[in-house]
């Protein structure tokens, strides 16, 4: 069987359960690694991306709680880098240990990745991504008066800081990632969507933003010329009319059908919608590749029988 190049985008549930401690997340990734190595056992080249939403949120809370003149809180781009580093370490450690158990000699490396965004992206005008703790309206307005941060009311739960969520334009380290993959490494990259940077006269500058991990993963998959882009989530299939009596699972589905379902608001914004949009974008930008949306637990079935929601031209 021909070796495939596969980019796997891990959902948050593959890392974080209800316990946010480092040990619990390491334990969750040990289980995740057991599933992911099946692709390597199958002879495929694997590149792994991951989310970092809850982790960057927790780190932000820790920074705010400890913020003082002697120990100032870090900006968001640095927090994204820190969580990309910590989750990358946990993941490369878990994958390496699992491969060693199976007697597979394959190095695993994680790469802290900068992702270039466009300063003219409309996302910088329309701040939409809530991060950090909840505040009362009074506290939020006081913070807005004292800083240049923006706050919005969040679903009746209080006010939260909002930041831009721009689209990825280019992955700065793409050549390094490709070199590592071609040398036979399992590579963990663009974690948490990558660190958002602006390019200005040849200089890279970190920016207060969060890049959607599914779109960054799609960009990585297209740039590497992946044969398969797997988006992992909590369900084996994408459904239409989800949780209704006429619920229907999607198995093999065309881009055109998915676009119609998007018009019908079939997919929840912030959860399934970006995954579907990223899968469509990957397939539209590849000649031979296909995308699959499924669960971690369904990977073996995917390897054996193309199980999951499969999107191809």
Catalytic residues: 12-13, 129, 213, 275
**Is residue 204 within 8 Å of residue 196, measured between CB atoms?**
no
CA atoms within 13 A on the CB side of 282: 36
**Is residue 258 within 8 Å of residue 311, measured between CB atoms?**
yes
d(CA 249, CA 74): 44
- Give the H/E segment covering residue 230: strand 228-233
**Is residue 170 within 8 Å of residue 115, measured between CB atoms?**
yes
d(CA 145, CA 246): 50
CA atoms within 13 A on the CB side of 262: 16
Three-state DSSP at 43 gives coil
Q: What are phi and psi of 32, to 5 degrees?
A: -60, -45
- At a CB cut-off of 8 Å and minimum separation 6, what does 61 contact? 132, 133
């Amino acid at each position: 069987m021909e070796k495939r190049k596969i980019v796997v985008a891990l959902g948050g549930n593959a890392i974080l359960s209800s316990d946010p401690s480092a040990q619990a997340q390491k334990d969750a990734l040990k289980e995740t690694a057991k599933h992911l190595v099946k692709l390597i056992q199958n002879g495929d080249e694997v590149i792994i991306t991951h989310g970092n939403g809850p982790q960057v949120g927790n780190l932000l809370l820790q920074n705010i709680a400890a913020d003082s003149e002697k120990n100032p809180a870090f900006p968001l781009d640095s927090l994204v880098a820190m969580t990309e580093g910590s989750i990358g370490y946990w993941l490369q450690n878990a994958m390496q240990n699992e491969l060693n158990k199976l007697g597979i000699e394959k190095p695993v490396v994680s790469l802290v990745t900068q992702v270039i965004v466009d300063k003219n992206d409309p996302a910088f005008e329309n701040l939409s991504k809530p991060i950090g703790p909840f505040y009362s309206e009074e506290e939020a307005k006081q913070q807005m008066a004292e800083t240049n941060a923006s706050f919005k009311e969040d679903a009746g739960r209080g006010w939260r800081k909002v930041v831009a969520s721009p689209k990825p334009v280019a992955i700065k380290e793409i050549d390094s990632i490709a070199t590592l993959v071609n040398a036979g490494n399992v590579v963990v990259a663009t974690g948490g969507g990558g660190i958002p940077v602006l390019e200005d006269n040849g200089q890279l500058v970190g920016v207060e933003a969060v890049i959607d991990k599914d779109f960054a993963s799609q960009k990585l998959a297209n740039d590497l010329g992946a044969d398969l882009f797997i988006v992992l989530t909590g369900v084996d299939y994408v459904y239409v009319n989800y949780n209704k009596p006429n619920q229907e699972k999607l198995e093999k589905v065309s881009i055109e059908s998915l676009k119609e379902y998007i018009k019908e608001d079939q997919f929840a914004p912030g959860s399934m919608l970006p995954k579907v949009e990223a899968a469509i974008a990957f397939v539209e930008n590849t000649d031979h590749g296909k995308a699959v949306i499924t669960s971690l637990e369904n990977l073996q079935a995917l390897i054996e029988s193309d199980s999951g929601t499969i999107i191809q031209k």
